[in-house]
Structure 1
């Protein structure tokens, strides 16, 4: 047993490897298999190989290791131990990068120091792997490079010198040294037992070196996965010259064979008892993925493809309109495969798509075996750690607090059901009722003690106040070790709740892995030094470490429905394989940008090109596409933009469309099968027995005896323009909930201006303004903002705008006070219309008393309505004038209204008054109001968006009226409300 072997595309590699090994060991005693060493590329392949070897019964197993772990191959004590972890290296490099950024602040913000250090550590590790000498940087030509890259090169020389002289082994350095010792031992005393390297594409220099050493052993074997035997010899030979085809799926194999000086025809199959699932499709895909300069071969070789129909018979091409539709269709296909007792797998590097498919499968109680694992930062413990880390060192926001309280691990140690009830009560009755962007202990305690607050649990509210205090006490700056220690306490406090234990948050694989990450940060924090670091840096470190680990739950999962990562294609086999997320930037993903070396610099140093990752993904795709039945699936657009099909999918579709009738027929069949599954998926969202057409424009009609008996002067405009709004708010008593993510919006600014004007006006008396009126007015607005707008940046912006209007406002105010003095400020008015059966209310911003007359003013921060708009529907000032004439404001004498105006206090100052304020206009306004209210009291329907005029935004109740299914040009449908 010696030499180089391969397995073709379309064969279960793990099963073939196990079968071939058993066949070669058939005549040996049972214990001989235990002396075999098998080195594979991933732990998943190791587990799969063990299962394949045990499938035929009990057996002794070979030693199965990884091509990146040489410790089991060395005698005890001979393995050099890495004395410094990857995190420690990154933290040390962070200090080095910070020194650079202090000198070169134009390079990047200092907050990005850790991210840059992670990229630098990756680069230095690659340089060690590829055995690149530091002198290579000195030999690099920099004459054509920009100043930015030349300075980067200078810093890299410093970093490589530092790495060479730190006196400790890095993880990569330890691996290289272990490989050196292993090769030396094999040279001195070659092992007589078989050593097999299987499943690796030799994309890294240490692996290529290992393969070369294994092939030199007496019983050294290398088995290559997914070798394309359909490529013509000339096309194969063109892959390696100049290394221009790193993105081709077979490039790594071709480069390895060239390094070993072995011809492809000289390689034998490891196990030839099973043939590829669909050889015709292998040939089709091989031709489609031919390197770009050689696609002219499509014209010559395309028409010569045999059995195109057979190659595409079990291929489904699914182009969904959205990612959600793609996930639903895939879930339907997986469920159908389960019903037919097939093994089915979704292969995708898109973890979002994988989560959506998993969620869709839950509707049928199907829990797939997600063997690719879940990123730790997306697990429940990971999300809790990251969410709390994002809240450190900053005010507690309403949205963040609500998310925290609803997290599945919050209060896991207490009464979870009671906790959720209290949390929802807090959200609806406090966080969403009144604007409270930054809740604190005082606000929560006041709310709990309010008699109108529903019953709250004292122990729960005490726990919540303590949690909020703990969050607010987290330092903005602290040593990294202190951040990690206090964060662990914070997480356990949130999880413990009113109970006695928080151990549940660390249970299971995800909890244990998350706890290890915190402990690793604590252990390595000393490398960052004792100097304080921002809480945001701790958050970035935590995010990086959590996203770098994966966990999987093996309990209760299906053994026939799987979700795999792209690498699983060479490890496992399924009857149906769905290749999902076939869009550019997803599959293949764009190579990660290198902030330290550009493409040309990497090439001149002999480092791996960025296209290497694309080639590895292409190899995974080619192997997955060789399954017995496949789907090629993508979404035509995301929520933001249209997507671009994967280059591999484009090539397959382009080849089939250009080889004649056979290809066009096959392509049409593939698309038809995809359309079928999209129709099946759409049926899941269609309600049974309900109308599926668009809703009509609603116009509810009240039953006899139900009427609108109270309305404000500002709501009259709404009743004229959008009666349905009044119906939903005042008849149905529906109130929109304020958003959790609160911000400084126009409504808050308008409220602040009104409050400031009230403060200013109440403070002054008489007709003369004091000399410091401008300072008094500004301080009034500033005080109001401090009380109502806890956003320092926006406060300064609003103050700047307000400063611009103060001089014009005070000039006009001097004129107004020369005519009279303020009599009523923010005064309430009420006018009962007994005959019509309703009450009109108002809150006047300001009413001035003049000689024998009054003046009414209303402040606006936006654009006031024009006189024409006031005559049509914006009747606030006219209605207030009518109420003054009718004595509706207490303390305001029944005098003629001499002036009524909107005072614009926005970006500029201005005044807008109604067209007429005489007794005839007031009487007409009164009559119009009475007729309007009587009409709705006697059956006039409340039509949605009756007169929207210039409204360009959605109203609070447009979603309830299902606006969008109809538009403003459609007639309304009267809908009787209540029992006849």
Structure 2
């Protein structure tokens, strides 16, 4: 048998350049057509482009036939049908998963059908790639060693075994395996006459490793491995598979497995070229740091031979930023500086959020890096519109949903009314938000349009057509769902009186890719069967999320953003390894709902450590670049972060070798990184320190100041005068939120209306049981009419039921003591010394037998204390003062003998306010002084003058720029 031939290149060298150089050297003295006979298989499309570029740089040559290993699965083979679309197989699996979940609802509770079917599809693809059949799972002793969950999942996997039968339609992975097996079998009988070279792959997948092993055994075949550690001692290689569970998380493990299967020792792997690495000393440090955990005691013994670590880490900087934003700014500054020096720079990171932040930061200088990942399809404008509409279908449209769709940049682009559309959308928004319409329907839109039908009617009819299309239809299958989705989306893009063909929906790269995805879904929708409609929107979102858009815009030729796989193709002068935190690099393994770790090991499937080992290999290659910057954020948006295990090991090794100047090397690495952090801070925050702004206290002219206020506004005037200024003078009102919610204000309004109707309709001689029944009936009526939120209606109805007995009993006592004469009726009185009117609208005033009155105020929230009533919450005291001065025409001047707060809570708590003539007189006198002061030109309306709590929120905090001034300041000199 021919001795297998394995070549490799060490970490840090330009793999593509050295691969081409090695080929040129080997074919230099041969006829030109010899190189053209070579079949060269590479691991990725970017590697293929790099290799072609390197061949182009060599001048006129007959090039080898270059392809990808993954292309083998698409090659035509007699008797082997083309692979079926992956989406069809996913939909077929989704049908089975839905039935399985219905039978076992506790299996992965909370997971959607398509999420489980996708994970099952990945498992099947892995089984086919690794050559593991369903029968291999039969020998697992599930009943004794595994939980009931795994037993159920294993039974289900056996059910889908029909997809592994010879007669089953082949998906891409199964066909790839079949093609490779047929090719290997053919090579064993009739070896190819043309040379075969496979380069750039680590052999981490079963089918790929199978073709690599076959090529290495050919007399005219060979394999070139990337990032092979030629310096690692034999005993360390042997330790990788010494234990029962192999150490697959080591970066060199898959090379050892390949060597073992070929009957080779790692020492027999030959160097493809003798190209020197950028820093051999640094490579030795990294290799030692990444040793398997069981042999890390070698740090102390072998660490002494690493030499001066300051020299080894001379070209490595460490950026430990305070936040992800600071990390991104630091990286952007490093990249810009490298570009200004004419150097090629690349950021390598699996953290897509970090890379997007860096791209945004670079954009301020007009730098657009070449991002290998492109833009996620679901974040493009067409992708977002498709997702929004899919999520809205089958649900009652909310105000937020309607506005999101109407304001989308692609909506109405097929109409000449795009400008009018934006204006009318704004007008409709203001109307709906002022009226607090949580779930706008066609009637709400038509009522709004009726105010100006000449301009609004056509536009409103277009909206009502869209709203009718979105109505629920639970009987809609996937094919019907997709057809309706596209009809709605194209109708929105067309706009009123426009056409979808004239819109921008399917234009540019994002639109073209989104259209391909939706056309593919339309073709394969029949394979979904009767999958429940609620899962359809999730399927659309998943398909769009899996798509990537590569824009044809010009990018900077010297700036790149790569994923970790591209570390093998590096040719940059400066490499930045970003996001070096645990859970990011390496990423946390995805949980497998179908097989446990032990089941995977016993059946021969990949362990989670395999993916970690691949990421470790990418790290080992990336850190071997000529100059390297390692970056991480010490804290993310939620908590403190943990450094990546590889960064942690590297820093611990260096810092633990003071005899080799490791402590100084580490200090210098951090010092170099701190310079970029300091620049990022200066870029993010102005260097000049700014003094706090003066506390707003505007002083408008007396003639524009309010001459009438309700008693409820007096509390605001005392606590937050600026709110009175903004509301009564500037005429600014807070809009209802875009996403209306059942808040305390709505609850209070509903409860007050229930109480008002209860008091007004109270019959004589009503029994307590009848009163409670009437209260609950009124609650049902009011909540149904006033509260559009089903959940809130149930909760608040339960609150009314809980307080019904105590409230009815209290109302009976109150009615026995007096007769309600004023219920939500307005009264007013003028002040004597100033031109000012005080108004009030009491919840209830009862006339007592002695001719005096009892004032009640119903509170849905917390009842105020006596001290708060005397100082701030003076509503009842001021209502008593108005009543004494005849401000309520129905009762004339009356003496107030009692004031009571009635709580609308479970315990129906009440609080009596002590009434004294001198107290009411003092409050009235203080009110006159307060109003006189605020009618003076010298008195300012100070922001947040005496808030109950420092974290209380005012509707006008944004207008007063709260946070830019100090609460301890008395108030500025604003004259506006």
TM-score (norm 1): 0.93
Pair 313,20 (structure 1): closer, same or farther in 2 beyond 3 Å: same
| Aligned residue in 1 for 2:12 | 10
**Residue in 1 aligned with 2:172?**
171
Q: Which residue of 2 aligns with 1:635?
A: 633
CA contact 2:41–2:67 (8 Å) conserved in 1: yes
Instruction: Name the residue aligned to 1:972.
Output: 969
CA deviation after TM superposition for structure 1 residue 169, in Å:
1.9
Query: What is the SS of the residue equivalent to 1:10?
Result: coil
Aligned to 2:315: 314
Measure, in 2, the Cα distance between the counterparts of 1:500 and 1:106. 48
Say if 2:912 is the partner of 1:910. no
Change (3 A) 1:431 1:231: farther
Q: 1:77 to 1:67 in 2, by over 3 A?
A: closer
Contact (CA 8 Å) 1:708, 1:933: kept in 2 or not?
A: no
8 A contact 2:313–2:669 mirrored in 1: yes
Distance 1:204 1:655 in 2: 32
Does the 8 Å contact 1:410/1:495 carry over to 2?
A: yes
Is 1:543 matched with 2:541? yes
For 1:367, the equivalent position in structure 2 comes to 368
Q: Does 1:723 find its partner at 2:721? A: yes
SS in 1 for 2:606: coil
Moved more, 730-739 or 513-522: 730-739
Cα separation, partners in 2 of 1:348 and 1:405, compared to 1, 3 Å: farther
State the 1:740 CA deviation.
2.1
The equivalences for 1:122-271 within 5 A come to 122-142=122-142, 143-161=144-162, 163-164=164-165, 167-242=168-243, 243-271=245-273
Shift of 1:296: 1.5
Aligned to 2:886: 887
2: CA distance between counterparts of 1:165 and 1:920?
99
Measured in 2, the distance between the counterparts of 1:241 and 1:821 equals: 93
Q: Is the 8 A contact 2:213 2:262 kept in 1?
A: yes
CA contact (8 A) 2:198 2:222 kept: yes
| Residue in 1 that maps onto 2:876 | 877
* Maintained 8 Å contact 1:369/1:554: no
Asked if the contact 2:310–2:665 (Cα under 8 Å) also holds between the matched residues in 1, the reply is yes
| Residue aligned with 1:290, SS | coil
Unaligned segments of structure 2, at least 5 residues = none
Q: Which residue among 14, 23, 26 is the counterpart of 2:25?
A: 23
**CA displacement at 1:823 relative to structure 2:** 2.6
Could you tell me whether the CA contact under 8 Å between 1:369 and 1:562 is conserved in 2? yes
Alignment of 1:858-877 (within 5 A): 858-877=857-876
Q: CA offsets per residue over residues 641-692 of structure 1, 9 Å max, x none? A: 1111111111111112111162222211221222221221222233587x52
Q: Is 1:48 aligned to 2:45, yes or no?
A: no
Task: Give 1:572 deviation, angstroms.
Answer: 3.0
Number of the residue aligned with 2:523? 523
Range moving further from structure 2, 229-238 or 680-689: 680-689
SS in 1 for 2:593: coil
Matching of residue 898 in structure 1 with residue 900 in structure 2 = no
- Structure 1 residue 474 displacement after superposition: 4.7
3-state SS, counterpart of residue 436 of structure 1: coil
Tell me how far 1:748 sits from its aligned partner: 1.1
CA shift for structure 1 position 200: 0.5
**4+ aligned runs moved over 6 Å, structure 1:** none
CA deviation profile, 1:380-435 (whole Å, cap 9, x unmatched): 222222122111111112222333233332333235444444434444x1354342
The 8 Å contact of residues 149 and 597 in structure 1, kept in 2 or not, is answered as yes
Give the Å deviation of 1:29: 4.4
**Residue matched to 2:553:** 555
Q: Following TM superposition, by how much is the alpha carbon of 1:589 offset from its aligned partner in structure 2, in angstroms?
A: 0.5
SS at match of 1:505: coil
**CA offset digits 1:455-497 (Å, max 9, x no partner):** 97554444333333322x2524421111111111122122222
Q: Residues of 2 paired with 1:362 and 1:554: CA distance?
A: 17
State which drifts further: 773-782 or 174-183.
773-782
- Which consecutive residues of structure 1, in runs of 5 or more, have no partner in the other structure? none
CA–CA separation in structure 2 for the residues paired with 1:361 and 1:486: 41
Residue 447 of structure 2 aligns with which residue?
A: 446
* TM-align CA RMSD: 2.7
The more displaced of 932-941 and 751-760 is 932-941
Aligned partners of 2:681, 2:420: CA distance in 1, in Å?
A: 38
- CA deviations on 1:426-456 (whole Å, 9 max, x unpaired) are 44x13543422222222233334447x9x97
With normalisation by structure 2, the TM-score equals 0.94
On the 8 A contact 1:39/1:198 being kept in 2, the answer is yes
Q: Deviations over 1:545-564 (max 9, x none)?
A: 22223221132222122111
Alignment partner, residue 956 of structure 1: 955
- Counterpart CA distance in 2 for 1:3 and 1:771 is 95
- Say yes or no: does 1:683 pair with 2:682: yes
The answer as to whether partners of 1:330 and 1:578 remain within 8 angstroms in 2 is yes
Cα distance, 1:770 vs structure 2: 9.2
Distance (whole Å) between structure 2 residues aligned to residue 426 and residue 60 of structure 1? 67
For residues 197 and 866 of structure 1, the distance between their equivalents in structure 2, rounded to whole angstroms, comes to: 83
Counterpart position of 1:533? 532
Alignment of 1:84-95 (within 5 A): 84-95=84-95
- Tell which deviates more after alignment, 159-168 or 192-201: 159-168
Deviation of 1:810 after TM superposition, in Å, equals 1.5
Contact 1:303 1:660 in 2 (8 A): no
Matched, 1:121 2:125: no
3-state SS of paired residue (1:310): helix
How far apart are the structure 1 equivalents of 2:387 and 2:824? 46
**1:576-615 map, 5 Å:** 576-615=574-613
Distance (Å, rounded) in 2 between the aligned partners of 1:324 and 1:432: 35
Shift of 1:22: 2.6
Structure 1 pair 94–680 and aligned structure 2 pair: CA distance change class (3 A): same
Contact 1:878 1:925 in 2 (8 A): yes
| Residues 255 and 696 of structure 1, relative CA distance in 2, 3 Å threshold | farther
Q: Counterparts of 2:356 and 2:844 in 1: how far apart (Å)?
A: 57
The question of whether the paired residues in 2 share the 8 Å contact of 1:702 and 1:976 is answered with no
Please name the residue that 1:506 is paired with: 506
Distance 1:832 1:252 in 2: 90
> Is 2:51 the partner of 1:68?
no
State the secondary structure of the residue aligned to 2:226: strand
- Conserved in 2, the CA contact under 8 Å of 1:48 and 1:572? no
Distance in structure 1 (CA, Å) of the matches to 2:418 and 2:364: 24
Task: Spell out, residue by residue over 1:713-771, the C-alpha distance to the aligned partner (whole angstroms, 9 max, x if none).
Answer: 12211222233433444344443343323221111111111122233333346686797
Alpha-carbon distance in structure 2 between the residues aligned to 1:282 and 1:83: 43
CA-to-partner distance for each residue in 1:883-923, whole Å, 9 max, x for gaps?
2222333434222223322221123312223221x432221
Structure 1 residues 725 and 774: alpha-carbon distance in aligned structure 2, compared to 1, 3 A threshold = same
Is the 1:902–1:913 Cα contact (8 Å) retained in structure 2? yes
Aligned counterpart, 1:569:
567
Inter-partner Cα distance in structure 2 for 1:58 and 1:434: 75
Partner of 2:282: 281
Count of residue pairs brought into register by the alignment: 966
Query: Residues 759-809 of structure 1, C-alpha deviation per residue, up to 9 Å, x if partnerless?
Result: 333334668679743333222222222223222122111111111111221
